[in-house]
């Protein structure tokens, strides 16, 4: 808990691994036992509250956001004052016990609402980069760290990536949406009624239905959880694809995020539009990593359709991650 309120903005870490043995990579990281995952999460300062999986990957809703475990990839994002980067070395160690080798890493986050409340190594982006440089293998030679600014808003996008090879465009792209100043009426949907007689799972399912989150991607199987007295998280599974939403609804520091991965022919823009409509935010930032330019333009178009004005579009290139396009939108003139 931050001094003035809860930090909604997540820190996100993606680790990719490879093996010379195809039979190893069929199961890969999914062979990690739950006790090992719990130990890593304890170092980060969060726990598992709900879980769901299919033949492609395992999904965990955390007390502070989400974890996805694929055979050759881990995605973990945590909010609040968690120490996400302390998971880097343990994940690498456990992967090595499974004969898996780290080949790429990407760390991203927005601008913290309460930066002074963050513990080491998250006290600044400079400190985070130094920590990453000290805790990843030297052979990840294609490295870059950058802060992508936003014109006219306080939102900035922080990116560190490293890999053994330059980026290849035959992988899914990632869309990360951060929303602040949520509509107060819509945000109230994410508060629980006192003594409602429900647990986190049943209350979460109610919130998913009431808000229309279940309609963002009707093909997804949703694992959701409602916190007490307020807050909400969900992971969606659609084949080998994931989506996730996290909500901190309190007035004064309200925040919601939506994230998904996509392929070129997907209409991810429509999912982004539906997600933004659920929350009615005052400010939206969208970071797309390695998406085609027309995908970014479609996202811009659908967000403008619901009454928001584009304020900024900044582009940066990362040798191990590809192109990052960072767009910001607001409801009112700044």
b/e map of 28-46 (b: 16 or more CB within 10 Å)?
bbeebeeeebeebbeebbb
Does the annotation count 146 as an active-site position? no
Taking residue 292's Cβ as centre, other Cβ atoms within 10 Å add up to 15
Which of 7, 64, 128, 259 is an active site residue? Answer: 7
Task: Reply yes or no on whether 65 is catalytic.
Answer: yes
In whole angstroms, what is the distance from residue 134 CA to residue 112 CA? 23
Catalytic residue selected from 65, 150, 161, 285: 65
250 catalytic per annotation: no
Question: If residue 16 lies in a helix (H) or strand (E), which one and from where to where?
Answer: strand 11-18
Of 144, 128, 161, residue with least CA distance to 16: 161
> Catalytic: 124?
no
Known active-site residue 96: no
Choosing from 46, 79, 178, 296, the catalytic residue is: 79
**Which is the catalytic residue, given 19, 223, 246, 290?**
246
Q: Reply yes or no on whether 10 is catalytic.
A: yes
- Cis amide prior to 175 (ω within 30 degrees): no
> Catalytic one among 87, 150, 220, 233?
233
Distance CA 173, CA 318 (A): 14
Report the C-alpha gap between 68 and 48 in whole angstroms. 12
Round to whole Å and give the CA distance between 288 and 141.
23
Give CA–CA dist 230/188, Å, rounded. Answer: 9
Which residues, other chains included, contact 193 with Cβ-Cβ below 8 Å and sequence gap of 6+?
Answer: none
Measured distance CA(327)–CA(334) in Å, rounded: 15
What is each CA distance from 216 to 61, 189, 220, 270, 272, in whole angstroms?
18, 16, 9, 8, 8
Catalytic residue numbers, as ranges: 7, 10, 65, 79, 233, 246
């Amino acid at each position: 808990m931050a001094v003035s309120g809860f930090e909604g903005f997540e820190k996100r870490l993606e680790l990719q691994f490879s093996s010379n043995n195809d039979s190893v990579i069929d199961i890969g990281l999914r062979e990690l036992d739950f006790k090992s995952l719990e130990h890593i999460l304890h170092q980060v300062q969060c726990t598992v509250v709900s879980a769901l999986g299919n033949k492609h990957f395992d999904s965990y809703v955390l007390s502070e956001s989400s974890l996805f475990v694929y055979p050759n990839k881990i995605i973990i994002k945590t909010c609040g004052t968690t120490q996400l980067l302390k998971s880097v070395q343990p994940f690498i160690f456990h992967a090595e016990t499974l004969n898996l080798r780290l080949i790429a890493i990407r760390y991203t986050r927005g601008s913290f609402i309460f930066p002074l409340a963050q513990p080491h190594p998250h006290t600044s982006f400079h400190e985070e980069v130094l920590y990453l440089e000290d805790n990843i293998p030297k052979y990840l030679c294609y490295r870059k760290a950058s802060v992508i600014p936003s014109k006219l808003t306080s939102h900035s996008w922080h990116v560190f990536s490293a890999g053994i090879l330059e980026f290849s465009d035959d992988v899914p792209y990632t869309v990360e949406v951060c929303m602040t100043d949520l509509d107060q009426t819509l945000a109230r949907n994410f508060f629980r009624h006192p003594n409602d007689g429900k647990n986190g799972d049943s209350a979460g399912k109610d919130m998913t239905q009431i808000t229309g989150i279940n309609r963002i991607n009707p093909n997804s199987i949703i694992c959701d959880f409602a916190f007490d007295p307020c807050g909400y998280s969900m992971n969606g599974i659609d084949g080998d694809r994931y989506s996730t939403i996290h909500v901190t609804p309190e007035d004064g520091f309200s925040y919601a995020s939506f994230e998904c991965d996509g392929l070129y022919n997907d209409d991810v823009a429509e999912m982004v539009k539906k997600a933004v409509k659920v929350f009615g935010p005052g400010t939206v930032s969208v970071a797309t990593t390695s998406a085609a330019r027309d995908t970014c333009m479609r996202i811009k178009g659908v967000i403008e359709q619901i009454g928001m004005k584009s304020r900024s579009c900044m582009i940066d290139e990362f040798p191990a991650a590809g192109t990052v396009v960072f767009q910001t939108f607001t409801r009112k003139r700044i």
